[in-house]
Structures are given as C-alpha cells and as structure tokens.
Amino acid sequence: MSGNIAFGRFDDSFSGASIKAYVAEFISTLVFVFAGVGSAISYTKLTGSAPLDPAGLIAVAVCHGFGLFVAVAIGANISGGHVNPAVTFGLALGGQITILTGIFYWIAQLLGAIVGAVLVQYSTGVATPTHGLSGIGAFEGIVMEIIITFGLVYTVYATAVDPKKGSLGTIAPIAIGFIVGANILVAGPFSGGSMNPARSFGPAVASGDFTNIWIYWVGPLIGGGLAGIVYRYIYMCGDHAPVASSEF
C-alpha cells in the first residue's frame, strides 16, 4: 500500500486471496461474537444476575480479551485479523486497505457476527443480550465509544501495522485482546464497551432489538477513523524513525 486512501479495483477485491480473506474475517468474527455473547449468557445462567456486577464485568472482559486474541491470531496471516468494521475503517483511512476491499470485509464481519449471535442464542435457548447505555445519555455514550475504539485501533497500528513494530508484531494479538479487555472494564457499566459495530449489530439482529444501535456505529467509526489518521500521518510518515534503545 502506498499509504494513500484508494478505492481499489474489482479484480483485486475478487481475487482468490481476497475471497479467502473475507472467509477468514467471517470465521474470526463468528468465533469472537459467539464467545463474547456466550460469556454474558453463561454468567447470567450461573449466577442469576446480569453480568454488570463486579464479578460479571471481569468475567465478560476477560472472555472478550481472550476471544479477540484468538480471533485476531487465527486471521492475521490470511486477512490481517480485523474482526471489526471500525478497525477496517481506520486501516482504510490510513491507506492500508482499499475502500472496496474494506466494504467486503464489513459484509463478512457483519455476517459472521449475525451467525455467531444466532448460533449462541439457538444453542443456549436464551435471548441474545445487546449493548445498551446505563446511566449516561447518547452523547456521552458516543464519546465513550470514540475514546475506547481510538485506543483499540491505535494499538492495532502500533503493534500490527507499523513496519517499524519489530518484535511487537509477535505479540500484536495479545496486545489487541488486552486493550479490549481493559476498555470493557472501563466502559462496560456505561456504554457496554462495544468498540465494534459488528459485535453490537449481530446480537441486535438475533434479538430484534435495535435500540440505540446507531451509537455503536457512530462512536467506533469516529474513534477508529481518528486513530488511523493520527497514527498513519504522524508515526508512519517517511521521516519517522524509532528512537535508538541506547537513548532510553
């Protein structure tokens, strides 16, 4: 990639490698959503309480962190392991993926999220829980989602995208999982800590409840887009070089 935003060509977006990447995104997002939604359902079944008490919040955050770590790792060498339309959007604005290919990534991610949510609902017999606001308004929810998604996509750039990442590339899936788990611990009791339009949209489709779903598109896309622009044009410009270790 040249680093410039590009629409892309249909022949590239329908190549064999591209089709494999879309399938990988579908599978990774399905795995992630099934685990994430399932953790909330399981906690409620075991305790009889919603997973927003302290123990439930930790359990759901850990499960999402572990689940995303695996989902990113299994897709990394095929599709890049985006598993999130906000990540794909941030990478597109940073010139790391074409707009056209990004659209097909979105389709694969959304389908994977829907199938994952439907499967966990069917296999447990429990209505799929959805993201929602608690004690805050829509504007505060958007701001919360912007901040935490910025942190996620910034982490993706720093550990997985930046060509100067060095040995950080080997721990990228772990770092990405950790930041999602940490952000859920902060935002879970307020906005639900989505950071991922697909993670919110899949359960909304499975449950038929689209209340405030727009918040989980607007916030993450703004946050992911800002992170892509900031990291790409500040730290991945031609004159940027890592500080020598001897200077620390």
The CATH number covering residue 19 comes to: 1.20.1080.10
Which is it for the CA torsion 17, 19, 24, 25, positive or negative?
A: positive
* pLDDT for the residue numbered 9: 78
Domain membership flag for residue 2: no
Which is it for the CA torsion 93, 95, 99, 101, positive or negative?
A: negative
Q: How many domains does the chain have?
A: 1
Domain membership flag for residue 244: no
Domain membership flag for residue 5: no
The reported pTM is 0.93
Host domain of residue 198: 10-238
Overall average pLDDT of the 48-72 stretch: 92
Domain membership flag for residue 248: no
What does the pLDDT look like over 194-228, one tens digit per residue? 999 999 999 999 999 999 999 999 999 999 999 99
What does the pLDDT look like over 20-38, one tens digit per residue? 999 999 999 999 999 999 9
Domain membership flag for residue 213: yes
Domain membership flag for residue 243: no
